[in-house]
């Protein structure tokens, strides 16, 4: 079938959405389907044989570390010329608005997927009064879709409570070929620890933004000299974080990709994930596949992935010292080893095939229903 994907983010950007998309697109192509990607123009015009239609992109005042594409009629022309069997709008907001609008206008069956809790982020930027408006806008977009996807049961329940239509959970996935314990690399550990390889290496991977609450990790470094920290990623909050961690044993690497990122995971000792705003947190699964024990906030999406005291430790975000106290427990090497083994065992067979096949089945279903409706009307 012909699949059009309209997305707010794509390569060369690196985040959980892009990782999920590229894994699924790769599967669609292997299964013989035709894929057209409509995304911000960041210089990538082809992905493993699938054409990428670039939409002019620019930085916006509220987020200067990333380029976005605004709504445009160009999306209508691309869709009309391509004539897809289904349109998938990923995280509709800006260019995704055009994806939703023109898929509907041109009469194509459409799926939308929700990946980012923008409304919750507003609390970290002193914009909480706008949360109601944000939810209204996203609900309006998503409810034009024939079917909606999200990445956890917790988010599904929230969206249903907010009157989003026909919401389903898109299965988890992770590249278990790339992320595995055998990727350990002595040179990478030397780099991440700044030469202090015998210390306990804490690892954070992700976007550097205020809502990630990365500052919490400093309390561990202040409390104990047993730990060092590596922060992998970039974002608008990086300079503030570098200042915050000044004087501690912390290394900022910027973005790492592919095998280099896999080595960073496998060469660390504990993965730390302070955020309470995630809709899933793909890096959690990458850490588990790499054989790392985890510390994460006790929230719906993380509880769906981490079993407390078995595959990781969950801390109470409302208790001021609980994050620090929980991480300090990992001075116990036996605890680290037990949780790491259990985490890897749970995730090692997951892969991406199940998630890709699931969404492909949804594509076929909405296309079939659309065809039946058209036949009835004729």
pLDDT tens readout for residues 128-154: 788 899 999 999 999 999 999 999 999
With pLDDT > 70 as the criterion, what percentage of the chain qualifies?
A: 98
User: What's the pLDDT band for 281 if we cut at 50, 70, 90?
Assistant: confident
DSSP 143-164: TTSSEEEES-HHHHHHHHHTT-
Residue 75, SS3 per DSSP:
helix
Going from N- to C-terminal start, the domains of the chain cover 2-173+352-377, 181-347
Q: Do 2-173+352-377 and 181-347 show the same overall fold? A: yes
Instruction: Compute φ and ψ for 307, nearest 5 degrees.
Output: -95, 115
DSSP 305-340: T--BTTTEEEE-TTSTTHHHHHHHGGG-HHHHHHHH
User: What's the pLDDT band for 117 if we cut at 50, 70, 90?
Assistant: confident
With pLDDT > 90 as the criterion, what percentage of the chain qualifies?
A: 85
Per-residue model confidence as pLDDT tens digits over 292-346:
999 999 988 888 899 999 999 999 999 989 999 999 999 999 999 999 999 999 9
Per-residue model confidence as pLDDT tens digits over 156-204:
999 999 999 999 999 999 999 999 999 999 999 999 999 999 999 999 9
Going through the chain in order, the beta strands assigned E by DSSP cover 2-7, 34-40, 46-47, 50-55, 57-60, 63-69, 86-90, 110-113, 147-150, 167-169, 200-205, 227-232, 250-254, 270-273, 294-297, 312-315
Instruction: Quote the CATH superfamily of domain 2-173+352-377.
Output: Glycogen Phosphorylase B; (3.40.50.2000)
User: What's the pLDDT band for 279 if we cut at 50, 70, 90?
Assistant: low
Mean pLDDT of the chain: 95
Residue 201, SS3 per DSSP:
strand
pLDDT of the residue at 299? 82
The residue that leads in pLDDT, 280 or 12, is: 12
Q: What is the largest CA-CA distance in the chain?
A: 74
Compute the distance between CA of residue 371 and CA of residue 124 in angstroms, rounded to an integer.
Answer: 45
pLDDT of the residue at 124? 63
Q: What CATH number labels 181-347?
A: 3.40.50.2000
User: What's the pLDDT band for 60 if we cut at 50, 70, 90?
Assistant: confident
Instruction: Spell out the alpha helix ranges (H) of 73-130.
Output: 74-82, 95-106, 118-121
Check whether the bond before 12 is cis (ω within 30° of 0).
Answer: yes
Compute the distance between CA of residue 303 and CA of residue 273 in angstroms, rounded to an integer.
Answer: 13
């Amino acid at each position: 079938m012909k699949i059009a994907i309209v997305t707010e983010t794509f390569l060369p950007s690196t985040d959980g959405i892009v990782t999920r998309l590229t894994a699924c697109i790769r599967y669609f192509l292997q299964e013989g389907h035709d894929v057209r990607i409509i995304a911000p123009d960041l210089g990538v015009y082809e992905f493993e044989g699938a054409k990428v239609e670039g939409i002019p992109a620019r930085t916006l005042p509220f987020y200067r570390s990333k380029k976005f594409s605004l709504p445009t009629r160009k999306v209508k022309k691309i869709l009309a010329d391509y004539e897809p069997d289904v349109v998938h709008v990923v995280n509709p907001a800006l260019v995704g608005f055009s994806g939703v609008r023109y898929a509907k206008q041109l009469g194509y069956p459409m799926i939308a997927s929700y990946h980012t809790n923008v409304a919750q982020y507003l609390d970290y930027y002193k914009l909480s009064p706008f949360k109601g408006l944000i939810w209204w806008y996203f609900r309006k977009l998503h409810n034009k879709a024939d079917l909606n996807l999200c990445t956890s049961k917790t988010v599904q329940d929230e969206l249903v409570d907010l009157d989003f239509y026909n919401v389903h959970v898109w299965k988890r996935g992770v590249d278990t070929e790339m992320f595995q314990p055998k990727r350990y690399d002595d040179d990478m550990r030397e780099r991440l620890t700044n030469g202090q390889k015998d210390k306990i290496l804490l690892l954070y991977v992700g976007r550097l933004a205020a809502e990630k609450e990365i500052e919490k990790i400093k309390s561990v470094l202040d409390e104990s000299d047993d730990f060092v920290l590596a922060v992998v990623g970039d974002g608008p909050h990086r300079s503030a974080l570098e200042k915050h961690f000044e004087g501690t044993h912390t290394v900022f690497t910027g973005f790492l990709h592919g095998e280099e990122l896999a080595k960073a995971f496998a060469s660390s000792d504990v993965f730390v994930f302070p955020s309470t705003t995630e809709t899933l947190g793909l890096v959690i699964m990458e850490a588990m596949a790499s054989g790392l024990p985890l510390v994460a906030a006790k929230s719906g999406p993380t509880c769906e992935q981490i079993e407390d005291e078995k595959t990781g430790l969950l801390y109470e975000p409302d208790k001021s010292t609980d994050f620090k106290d929980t991480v300090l427990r990992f001075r116990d090497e036996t605890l680290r080893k037990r949780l790491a083994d259990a985490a890897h065992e749970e995730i090692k067979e997951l892969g991406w095939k199940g998630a890709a096949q699931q969404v492909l089945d949804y594509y076929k279903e909405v296309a079939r229903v659309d065809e039946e409706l058209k036949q009835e009307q004729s």
